[in-house]
Amino acid sequence: MNNHKTDASWETSHLKSNNDWIFTITKAEKKHLGDSIKSLYEEDKSLFDYSPDEFDFGSSWDTIAKALNQALHGKGLAIVKGLPREDLSHEEFRLLSWAIGLRAGVARPQGLTSQYISAVRNIGTNYRAANGRGYSSNAKLDFHVDVADLTTLTCFNKAKSGGQSMVSSGITAQNYLIKERPDLAETAYQYFYFSRQNEESSDETSFYGLPLFEEENGSLFCNWNRNRVQSAQNLEGVPKLSPAQRETMDVLDEILRRPELMYTMYLEPGDMQILNNYKMFHSRTSYTDFKSESQKRCLYRLWLAPPDSIKLPESWRDFYRSVEPAAVRGGIRGQSYDKVHAEFDKKQAKFLNMKIDTRPYKD
Ligand SMILES: [Fe+2]
């Protein structure tokens, strides 16, 4: 059990004193990118039919690529500001989010319906239900990781109030646990069991086991989601949490929310947040929407497998389906993954020179 001092073991004071994780594209680049999206957008075209090389990012790609690198290999978190927003419709902005993903990695499915891009907006979902998901509710969320190496979240509309985004470094939290409660830091290396929230595909069980923290090749891999651990306690075959595990969960959440560790921000329209999900835990506050449909909070979310990913611990195989470096891995395959999805994955893997697992899908 080691202390990990890396760029990702930040405290909020570090993020405030050095903004090398915030990237802004120029006005000229913004215009260029917006024009490219507008000229390529076709109402009836499926997102799967766009190719990564048809979009003209101009010099904005250098900036976006630096942000992706900072998130994946550096601080675990990056923001790109200044993406074209004002002149783009919902659908065009969605395409912009998708186009960035096409260049950056292989988008992964995100739930029961195997959707490859999610509109993060409130449609009244009950987050705490057995099949609850946070992205489609307006609830305050527990600190958690998403199910892919990287998440990109591009903001189209802010909420009327609330919806503040919070990020806390899992690496820093584990360093604090080691310092303050070495007994619980040890417990965090045990397996915890997480519900798949009724979204499992036919070849998956209803839950998966994974330690909260695990070291491999000198790196610390972090994983946390209280809601899924609590849901799993109601599933048959899931071991009951020990008192030490329950205490670890409580102390971990308390550490994550300390003001010196929890960085809070409001994403503005045209901002893209990028997170490394095995280093960062994220959350958001509850929110209230504007009445008008066109003004409601809306962010477009992608889960990405990037081509320069590192090997994951073997214990992550059940969670990500593959642990190999530079592999198409992660996602929630869900129950509608079919030939179209498989062909897209293969096409993208080829474009990015990545390894792909060709386990069967429903034809
Ligand atoms: Fe999330």
Tell me what the mean pLDDT of segment 218-230 comes to.
Answer: 96
pTM for the structure as a whole? 0.96
The crossing angle, in degrees rounded to 10, of helices 60-73 and 27-40 is: 100
Tell me what the mean pLDDT of segment 150-158 comes to.
Answer: 97
CB under 8 Å, gap of 24 or more: what pairs does 11-19 form?
A: 11/169, 11/172, 11/260, 11/261, 12/259, 12/260, 12/261, 12/262, 12/263, 13/260, 15/75, 15/77, 15/263
What's residue 2's pLDDT?
84
Ligand 1 mean position, distance from CA 245 (Å): 23
Whether the pLDDT of residue 360 is over 70: the answer is no
pLDDT band at 359 (very low <50, low <70, confident <90, very high): low
The token pair at 84 is: 């074209």
Whether the pLDDT of residue 157 is over 70: the answer is yes
Q: Is 189 in contact with 182 (CB distance < 8 Å)?
A: no
Whether the pLDDT of residue 362 is over 70: the answer is no
Q: Among residues 164, 137, 151, 27, which one has the least CA distance to residue 78?
A: 151
What's the mean pLDDT when you consider all of the chain?
Answer: 95
Ligand 1 mean position, distance from CA 32 (Å): 31
User: What count of other Cβ atoms lies within 10 Å of the Cβ of residue 276?
Assistant: 26
Give me the percent of the chain exceeding a pLDDT of 90.
Answer: 88
- Residues in contact with 337: Cβ distance below 8 Å, sequence separation at least 6, in sequence order: 109, 114, 201, 361, 362
Ligand 1 mean position, distance from CA 295 (Å): 22
Ligand 1 mean position, distance from CA 153 (Å): 9
Ligand 1 mean position, distance from CA 6 (Å): 23
Tell the CATH topology of 12-171+265-352.
Double-stranded beta-helix (3.60.130)
Give the separation between CA 110 and CA 336, rounded to whole angstroms. Answer: 11
pLDDT band at 140 (very low <50, low <70, confident <90, very high): confident
Whether the pLDDT of residue 363 is over 70: the answer is no
Give the separation between CA 211 and CA 191, rounded to whole angstroms. Answer: 4
Tell me what the mean pLDDT of segment 80-89 comes to.
Answer: 96
pLDDT tens by residue, 317-350:
999 999 999 999 999 999 999 999 999 999 999 9
Ligand 1 mean position, distance from CA 344 (Å): 24
**Phi, psi of 23, rounded to the nearest 5 degrees:** -125, 135
pLDDT band at 357 (very low <50, low <70, confident <90, very high): confident
